Structure 1
Amino acid sequence: MTARLIYGLVLWGGTLALALLALLALPTPIRLGTMVMVVAVIAVAGRSVKRRVRRRQQSLPLSGFAALPAPGYRRPVILVCGVVPPGLFDERAVGQAALRVTRQGCYVRVAEVQRLPDMVASLLTLRPDWGRQLSVMLIVDPQQHSDQAVLAGQLRALYHQLILARRRALSLPLVLISYLQTQCSESVWFSWETAGPAPNVRLNGEVLSVEAWQEQAGNGADRARRLQTIVQLRSLVSWLNLAVVSHLTMPGRHRIDLPVSWAITLVPAMGDSHAGSLWERWLIDRTGVLAGGGRAPDNVTPVPFPDPVLALLPRHGGDTARRRAGIIALWMFTAAAVVALINSAWQNTRLMREVSDDLSRYASVYSLSDRNPPQLALLEDALAALREDARRLDDHYRHGEPLSMALGLYRAERLRAPVWEAITGYSPPTPEPVAEPSRPVRLDSLSLFHSGRADFKPDAARVLIDALVNIKVRAGWLIVITGHTDATGNPVRNLALSRARAEAVRDWMQRMGGIPDSCFAVQGLGASQPVASNETLQGRAANRRVDIRLVREEGACELLFSAPDRQPVAPLATTQP
């Protein structure tokens, strides 16, 4: 995948992250701070990707691939490993990778199997879309190996390097190719698909069975030569299974698949076979016959490329780097969409639960019959919460729901009408009428007391009951009793007498109504507040009086009304002249 595609995916992921932050219900400082962090991560990731690609390009041998096909090339690209017969590649190009392009595919020579992962990385750096076009071809010439330990080591090295290379490419199919030196001059390929039991014969674009190919022989000599070829092929396949394939199918966590195809072709004797090769020794041990390749010709004919076998390779030309990047981008969008849907569902559920709880709380408090001050405070709080809910729901109705609750999951509209019904149906409690301070009840001292004394006359009780009938005792109100005298006599004695008469009236009210001291305030003013002139007999009679009035005072009479078994005191009867 190119640096441009990788950086595009980074930008796409950052854009999705910013969109999610805009949807999530976060405090504004946290949202802005996180957005700044995302932008910084995108910038750092972009620079890191560019530096990594640049270092990778500098470390890989990319200069030797100037003759590669165009990036749009969609035929198989085969990395050729093993003992390559002479003439298969042009070895004269200095500084360039050995490369051949035929009508069916592109062949790239891997001189050393240890360079296979680097070759794969170089090709994918130059041609990112070739990830599924790459395959590995192992050429095994049975007459070129004379040491079984050396061959096993080479195969194990290929096995290990193939595992490393597959970490870079999506898949690297393995094809096993062998050239059998015979006197037969036919250009024919024998292929075993997925290690099948019987080979297919590929001749001039046709695919035949071994029996059909043998029946096409023109005369007896050709039949005999083809029969001998079939026997040699079967022997060679047995040897390949034993000496080659067994080292490519080792058990383990990184076990690679069997070769997708084995292919063997017939070539004239090339003259470079090793005497006493593994193949010859194995054939002599099994059959007692030495495989004769004939005398080597003076001019070596280039061996053919296995183009007829390339049709067996898996075709993945459509899985380009752009497509892979598109798939990754689609998965990123899907993950972001799932997160956005979950967030929207959670936000809508939270809003529905809050409004429903406020409605339930208001209904439970409103249904209480006893509206004491604490319950009225709870009712006001519940009503204030409903008004805030109504404001939010109206705002959503007029301007649209917030992004965090959108995506088709908004359900709070159905609660707007019940909320407004509860608010408009609220009727505030009627305040209990507050008794205003009444005009003082004025008692004539001569009707209650003996002259110059503070004890009641015998008929004073009837006068008090008739006069104090409108006096009601209630919490928060103080009963103020004030005694007055005329201006005759000693002022000090008059002051004491006025207070003593006020205390006498208080004591009588306590005995009659069981009213505590906290409900009373007693004072004697003597002759300091006359209501008439002291120069006349009638004026002095009016000034000799006891005034009773109710005055609001916080905390008065609280003990009387806080007792659970007490009821408000009934009106007290008093007299008035």
Structure 2
Amino acid sequence: MQKLGYPSRTMIVFAAALAMAVHGYVQPFGKEWLWLGYVGVLIVASGLVGWRTLQLSRARARSAAVLGALDAATLEIPVNLRTRMPLVLVIGDALAALFDRVPDEARLVFIGDGAIWLRVERAQDLPEVALAMRQWRDGQPPDGVVLSVAPALHVDADALAQRLRVARQARADAARLTGARLPAYVAVYQRLTRRASDAGAALQWHGVSTNAAPIDAQRFEAVIRHAEGDAVDHDHVARAAALASVIGWTQRVVFGTLTDPRQPATPWPLYGAGWIDCGPASDAGKPWEQEVQRQTCVAPARVDASPAPWPLPQPLIEALPRRRVASPRAAACGHALGIAALAAAVAFFGAGRHNADLIERVSADLTRYTQLTPDQDAARRDALKALVADRDELDRYARAGAPLRLSLGLYRGDRLLLPLNTAIASYQPPLPPPAVVTLDSMSLFDSGSARLKPGSTRELVAALDMIRAHHGKRILVAGHTDNAGSAAGNLALSNARAAALRDWLIEASGLPATQFAVQGYGDTRPIAGNDTEDGRAKNRRVEITLVPDTASRPD
């Protein structure tokens, strides 16, 4: 049967699509990051989907035998019940003896009273098996891990400590991979007396379990006192003494290794521990027996192995912390809502940032325009163009609606339209310069001469002020005469007087000669009749004209 489990890859694709939509429409980090953001999201999402696919495939491949045995053993158990029954992974020593009760050849699964026990032969496979169990149980991780410890199967305490460190690392990796806390238990199988226990009820677990870790060491003392209180004969007293010794040894050797803070893996979260007078054959050369001999100088007698199957530590998991069973689809919906809320928060953040940038930009354009004086007309025209562009942009938003990167209920650009229109309407172009300044030639030159009279510069002050006020314009200096004399002589005289006046203006204004042009018209352009003295006086003149530019006022 195909197990759906938590749709992790679908959630990755959903989050990536939402991130790309927010990044594309709202652009919370600016347009310059647009394509880089798209590429980054695609790379990350593809990598996560590929990594998760490989992870699940590897877990299913390594757990194929376990999954097959589970399907066969739970064929008649409804899926809803299967996800609610506690599922415990068993690692460590003597797993064959523990699962010898299973009728199938693999002997991997045992469905006991209220729990599914699953055998994990190698501790290194625990992370992949735990992940496969999460998929098999429709998104629910295993409920716990039991470490079986049979001290008599180890040559010395160092070899046992090494196996314990491997188990500790494997449980930490499994918890990380499944995202679950995975409560841990220790079951110690050790023959305590030479007298063989009767089958069934005669085998009794001595231990403690809780729904919160770690277990207080004082509770182990209570186990010892309880065993001593039940001692009614010599055999029970001997068993109680051996139990007290093996509990102390377990605390030092087993628990010390599993919870040592100096080890790199997460300490073993001990929710329960139990001891039973059952286990493999043992003699004086085994780790616990060697410690007893060092402390008492008495070598424990050799004992034979207990017949299989050995009892599973069912009493330990009776206090197993119960998880709230939730459908992985429901969990995915909750996570999707959380992702959507995060995307909405990023979108609101981006829209708020863009609105702040818009208001700051338009306000800066308004401030720059208002700080320019009328005599800075060129700079005012540039600032006015920026205001017109701002006004057109905001007007477009008012008519067609603001884009998503500015909207989401945060758009405030409409309040800037009135000050923009007011500022644009307030622009007044500077008054045009006088078209022509006419100077009387007789006040500047002697009759028939092109040399400026001494003191004639007073007549040129007005012309010089006009030129300085419009220093960027081109200047045409034109000479005119009356009709007295020859036409050729009058033309030459008008050219010479215009050139003399131009030279003086260049020197006085400091402007380059390229801004000046000289033109002599002689008597060809009279402004009055030459038949009277008054008319001829008006015709003898020099005209200074500013050539107008083609700049126009912005709309």
TM-score, normalization: structure 2? 0.68
Asked if 1:76 corresponds to 2:81, the answer is no
Partner of 1:171: 181
Deviation of 1:210 (Å): 7.2
- For residues 495 and 415 of structure 2, what CA distance do their matches in structure 1 show? 69
- For residues 156 and 55 of structure 2, what CA distance do their matches in structure 1 show? 43
Partner of 2:251: 241
* Residue deviations 1:374-428 (CA, integer Å, cap 9, x gap): x222222222322222222233334433211233433333333222232334444
Q: What is the aligned counterpart of 1:350 among 332, 357, 362?
A: 357
- For residues 522 and 326 of structure 1, what CA distance do their matches in structure 2 show? 92
Partner of 1:57: 60
- For residues 325 and 305 of structure 1, what CA distance do their matches in structure 2 show? 36
Aligned length: 493
Deviation of 1:434 (Å): 4.0
Partner of 2:539: 547
Whether the aligned pair in 1 keeps the contact of 2:123 and 2:170 (CA below 8 Å) is yes
Whether the aligned pair in 2 keeps the contact of 1:484 and 1:546 (CA below 8 Å) is no
Deviation of 1:263 (Å): 1.2
Deviation of 1:261 (Å): 1.5
- For residues 159 and 43 of structure 2, what CA distance do their matches in structure 1 show? 55
Asked if 1:192 corresponds to 2:208, the answer is yes
Whether the aligned pair in 1 keeps the contact of 2:28 and 2:351 (CA below 8 Å) is no
Partner of 1:137: 146
Q: CA 1:53–1:109 in structure 2 vs 1: closer, same or farther (change >3 Å)?
A: closer
Deviation of 1:359 (Å): 1.2
Partner of 2:402: 401
* Residue deviations 1:490-511 (CA, integer Å, cap 9, x gap): xxxx55675699799999999x
Q: CA 1:498–1:243 in structure 2 vs 1: closer, same or farther (change >3 Å)?
A: closer
- For residues 155 and 497 of structure 2, what CA distance do their matches in structure 1 show? 140
Whether the aligned pair in 1 keeps the contact of 2:227 and 2:240 (CA below 8 Å) is no
**Aligned pairs (5 A) from 1:418-429:** 418-429=419-430
Deviation of 1:237 (Å): 0.6
**Aligned pairs (5 A) from 1:62-211:** 62-67=67-72, 69=74, 72=80, 73-81=83-91, 82-84=93-95, 86=97, 88-94=99-105, 96-127=106-137, 129-131=139-141, 133-141=142-150, 148=157, 151-169=160-178, 170-179=180-189, 183=197, 188-193=204-209, 194-199=214-219
- Stretches of structure 2 that go unaligned for 5 or more consecutive residues are 450-458, 468-474, 549-555
Q: CA 1:214–1:155 in structure 2 vs 1: closer, same or farther (change >3 Å)?
A: closer
Asked if 1:482 corresponds to 2:487, the answer is no
* Residue deviations 1:23-65 (CA, integer Å, cap 9, x gap): 1189999958976996798678767755664465345434343
Whichever residue aligns with residue 282 of structure 2, its letter is H
Q: CA 1:103–1:355 in structure 2 vs 1: closer, same or farther (change >3 Å)?
A: same
Whether the aligned pair in 2 keeps the contact of 1:163 and 1:254 (CA below 8 Å) is yes
Q: CA 1:36–1:286 in structure 2 vs 1: closer, same or farther (change >3 Å)?
A: closer
**Aligned pairs (5 A) from 1:127-526:** 127=137, 129-131=139-141, 133-141=142-150, 148=157, 151-169=160-178, 170-179=180-189, 183=197, 188-193=204-209, 194-199=214-219, 222=232, 229-250=239-260, 251-257=262-268, 259-265=270-276, 273-276=281-284, 278=286, 279-280=288-289, 282-283=291-292, 286-287=295-296, 302-318=309-325, 322=329, 325=332, 329=336, 332-333=339-340, 336-365=343-372, 368=373, 371-372=374-375, 375-431=376-432, 434=435, 476=475, 478-484=477-483, 494-495=486-487
Q: CA 1:45–1:3 in structure 2 vs 1: closer, same or farther (change >3 Å)?
A: farther
Whether the aligned pair in 2 keeps the contact of 1:479 and 1:550 (CA below 8 Å) is yes
- For residues 78 and 139 of structure 1, what CA distance do their matches in structure 2 show? 12
Whether the aligned pair in 2 keeps the contact of 1:60 and 1:122 (CA below 8 Å) is yes
Q: CA 1:226–1:501 in structure 2 vs 1: closer, same or farther (change >3 Å)?
A: closer
The structure with more radius of gyration: 1
Q: CA 1:98–1:553 in structure 2 vs 1: closer, same or farther (change >3 Å)?
A: same
Partner of 2:470: none
Q: What is the aligned counterpart of 2:14 among 2, 9, 12?
A: 12
- For residues 533 and 258 of structure 2, what CA distance do their matches in structure 1 show? 137
Whichever residue aligns with residue 358 of structure 1, its letter is D
- For residues 44 and 157 of structure 2, what CA distance do their matches in structure 1 show? 55
Whether the aligned pair in 2 keeps the contact of 1:195 and 1:259 (CA below 8 Å) is yes
Deviation of 1:107 (Å): 0.7
Deviation of 1:79 (Å): 2.0
Partner of 1:21: 24
SS at match of 2:389: helix
Whether the aligned pair in 2 keeps the contact of 1:397 and 1:413 (CA below 8 Å) is yes
Q: CA 1:540–1:404 in structure 2 vs 1: closer, same or farther (change >3 Å)?
A: closer
Whichever residue aligns with residue 192 of structure 1, its letter is V
Sequence identity (%):
22
Whether the aligned pair in 1 keeps the contact of 2:281 and 2:305 (CA below 8 Å) is no
Q: CA 1:106–1:418 in structure 2 vs 1: closer, same or farther (change >3 Å)?
A: same
Deviation of 1:343 (Å): 2.4
SS at match of 1:264: strand
SS at match of 1:191: strand
SS at match of 1:410: coil
SS at match of 1:129: coil
Q: CA 1:117–1:283 in structure 2 vs 1: closer, same or farther (change >3 Å)?
A: same
Deviation of 1:357 (Å): 1.3
SS at match of 1:65: helix
Q: CA 1:228–1:128 in structure 2 vs 1: closer, same or farther (change >3 Å)?
A: same
Partner of 1:573: none
- For residues 45 and 378 of structure 1, what CA distance do their matches in structure 2 show? 55
- For residues 339 and 499 of structure 1, what CA distance do their matches in structure 2 show? 80
Q: CA RMSD in A?
A: 5.4
Whether the aligned pair in 1 keeps the contact of 2:146 and 2:184 (CA below 8 Å) is yes
Deviation of 1:188 (Å): 4.5
Q: CA 1:226–1:412 in structure 2 vs 1: closer, same or farther (change >3 Å)?
A: farther
- For residues 294 and 522 of structure 1, what CA distance do their matches in structure 2 show? 138
Whether the aligned pair in 1 keeps the contact of 2:100 and 2:308 (CA below 8 Å) is no
Q: CA 1:327–1:287 in structure 2 vs 1: closer, same or farther (change >3 Å)?
A: farther
- For residues 359 and 335 of structure 2, what CA distance do their matches in structure 1 show? 36
- For residues 129 and 499 of structure 2, what CA distance do their matches in structure 1 show? 118
- For residues 56 and 49 of structure 2, what CA distance do their matches in structure 1 show? 11
Whichever residue aligns with residue 347 of structure 1, its letter is H
Whether the aligned pair in 2 keeps the contact of 1:90 and 1:99 (CA below 8 Å) is no
- For residues 123 and 310 of structure 1, what CA distance do their matches in structure 2 show? 18
Whichever residue aligns with residue 312 of structure 1, its letter is A
Whichever residue aligns with residue 129 of structure 2, its letter is M
- For residues 11 and 293 of structure 1, what CA distance do their matches in structure 2 show? 63
Q: CA 1:97–1:349 in structure 2 vs 1: closer, same or farther (change >3 Å)?
A: farther
- For residues 282 and 111 of structure 2, what CA distance do their matches in structure 1 show? 30
